[in-house]
Every structure is written in C-alpha cells, then in structure tokens.
Amino acid sequence: MDNKLQTSEPQFLQPGTAPTTVNLPGDNNTLIAHADRVTNEYRPLYVFNNQPYGNITAGTVQEFNPDYYNLIVVGDGDLDGTGHFLVDKRRAITESTSQELKDAYASLTPEAISKIKTFPTIIATENHSYGKTDDQHQAIYGIITGVKVQDNGIKVYYQILNWIPQQRLNDLTTQLGLGSATSFNELNRMHWAIKRINMVEVLREAGIRVFSI
C-alpha cells in the first residue's frame, strides 16, 4: 500500500458560480443570502409604570429619540404640579430653531406631535439673573406626553424624569446650542425651541445625571 498522502476532490463544496438552494420549513422565516452591510437602528423605549401627575397611563411605552431635544422655558408660576403648562403660540417653535425644524414641527400636526413626544426635553423657568441663575434653581429633564392646540395657547403635558441644576445648563450654552451673549441666553426668555443636538450625551459628558435607560 502506498503510504503517500492522497489528494481527493471536495465532496461538499460547490463551485462559487453555482446557486445554492436552502429549504426553510415553517412559517415566518427570513433568509439573508448576501448582505454587504446591515444597519440596525436602535431607538430605546420607556415603559412607565407610574404616573405622578396622572398625565401618562401606567404601562405606557414611549419611543425615545435623543438626536433632538425640546427646550421649553416657562414662567416661575407655570410649573405648579399639574403636569402641564401653556406656551404662547407666537413663541412655540418660532424662534431659536432652524428653519428645517420649524418646517417639520411648528405646524403641530398629529404627525409632528407624535415625533416631538419622542424627543427628550428640558423644561426651565427663566434665569434669576442675566445669563446665570442661583445654585438652588432647578430645571426639569423629562419628556412631553401630550400637546393640545387651544385658542389661548399651546397646552403641553409633561413627565418629569429627574431635575438638573439650571446653572449647569447655563455653563453648557455652547454645547446645548442655547445662543448666548455675554449677559443673555435662551434660558432668559420664555419660548419653546427644538434643537438638533444630542442633549443627553452633552449632559452625561458633563457629569450631569439624567434618567438612565
């Protein structure tokens, strides 16, 4: 018997040009035969199991899109524990917002509101001084849970996720796109703006705690 190694032709490999048939028995099967690139878009979801202000139903699932954020600055008496406030129509997504985002959301159509509700939100009251505030002044980090267009203004419902020292926001005006001058920034004026900025990332990089998902 010859002790030399013998070559043999492959029994199972098929030539690269030959088609391959795969049988997938059963229902609801998906086969990706070839993909140069697969991109998965990840959007975290919130599941709310309580509703401290009664404006969101327990067990509600809400999508979260951190690529944008709402900035809403209201008067001192507007955060009264009811879980909603009014925004002047003349100041609702009409200033400090790019034209592209105004075109997309200022109409407040049901479709626009549905997307707005996925953006994380900062709700602040006006700074107590020019371009700054005191250490005790707190702003809300949360989400919008509902929007109603009324004759007397835009009624906005919200859910608090946690509180943030407002002076820390004044320290981050450039990173948060809060168009600021020496003694004035957007936290000094009541209005509602939308920014194409990942606010959650900015706050976390600055060491500010925000609701974890």
pLDDT tens for 49-96 read 444 444 455 555 678 999 999 999 999 999 999 999 999 999 999 999
Which pLDDT belongs to residue 49?
45
Decide: pTM greater than 0.85: no
The one-character DSSP state at 184 is B
CA distances from 146 to 88, 125, 159 (A): 16, 20, 10
Which pLDDT belongs to residue 149?
98
Mapped onto helix, strand or coil, the DSSP state of residue 134 is coil
Q: Which two tokens stand for residue 170?
A: 């004044």
Mapped onto helix, strand or coil, the DSSP state of residue 26 is coil
Residues of the chain with pLDDT under 50: 8, 10-14, 16, 19-20, 22, 24, 30-35, 38-42, 49-55
Which pLDDT belongs to residue 185?
96
Establish how many alpha carbons lie within 13 A of residue 45's alpha carbon, considering only the half-sphere containing its beta carbon. 8
Task: Provide Rg for the chain, Cα atoms.
Answer: 26
Q: Which two tokens stand for residue 166?
A: 């407002």
